[in-house]
Amino acid sequence: MQRHKNLAPLMIVASKGRRAGETFAEPAFSRGFDIGMAVTAVVVLSPLFLISAVLILLTDGRPIFFRQKRVGRYGELFDILKFRTMEIGNGGPAITAAGDGRVTLVGAKLRKYKIDELPQFFCVLRGHMSLIGPRPEVPEYVEPSDDLWEAVLQMRPGITDLASLAFRDEEDMLALAEDPETLYRRSVLPEKLRLNIAYQRSRSLMRDLKLLWLTARYSFYPKGFDRNRVMGALGA
């Protein structure tokens, strides 16, 4: 299996797991902050929601949205909501590598700029997700008996976090592997879990705001993405 050259440095900065008896509580302001930001985002980005929906409808038809069961806080399942970016009826792995033939032409553009993720603001309003938190996984990738998963499942899943930003080019990384799913399970996912925990241990309002800004910046300007710069900016 080919290992991505940018994966190794992350192994140094990430924590090694959960300390004995450690718990993770959300900041007191978190829920109100989430609701306010989600409502603002839906209103401000409503033209982008409409344009995306129309493009999907005209080029690929219905459904416009993609729903999938994900594992939330304390292991509870919920339906994540995204704009549909793949053809209907094609099976395959839960992960997506760059060049995946299931992705539509419009879907590729939506994924490049993370526009397909925007409907998750409604998941935030429903209380299933937060703005910042570990990305929720499909049940087949979750191992509740593992120490890393036990810790991560104490947190409300989010739209963005340090791990998802650090692995923004994950699809390109997986495309280089002989077996993308094995690389994801054995290397990428465990490292993302460690980064989830490392960020939560040093979380602050200013750090959260910086993370949100960097997420927005690299969503609209992905060409300038630099993992080392991101990690340095967030003190990781």
Tell me how crowded residue 221 is: count the other CB atoms within 10 A of its CB: 10
Q: Could you give the CA distance from residue 188 to residue 180 in angstroms, rounded to a whole number?
A: 10
| CA dist., res. 92 & res. 186, Å (int) | 19
Distance of alpha carbon 11 from alpha carbon 187, whole angstroms: 10
Over 70: is that where the pLDDT of 3 sits?
Answer: no
Q: Give the model's pLDDT for residue 19.
A: 56
Residue 12 has pLDDT above 60, yes or no: no
Backbone angles phi, psi at 77, to 5 degrees: -85, 145
Q: Tell me: the pLDDT tens digits for 14-45?
A: 444 555 456 666 665 688 999 999 999 999 99
Can you tell me the mean pLDDT for 125-137? Answer: 95
Which pLDDT score, from 0 to 100, does residue 26 have? 65
How many C-alpha atoms does 179 have within 13 Å on its Cβ side? 7
pTM comes to: 0.85
Average pLDDT, the chain: 87
Contact between 13 and 230 under an 8 Å Cβ cutoff? The reply is no
- Predicted pLDDT of residue 14: 43
Helix (H) or strand (E) holding 82: strand 77-83
Q: What per-residue confidence (pLDDT) applies to 18?
A: 52
Q: What is the rounded CA–CA span in Å between residue 8 and residue 107?
A: 30
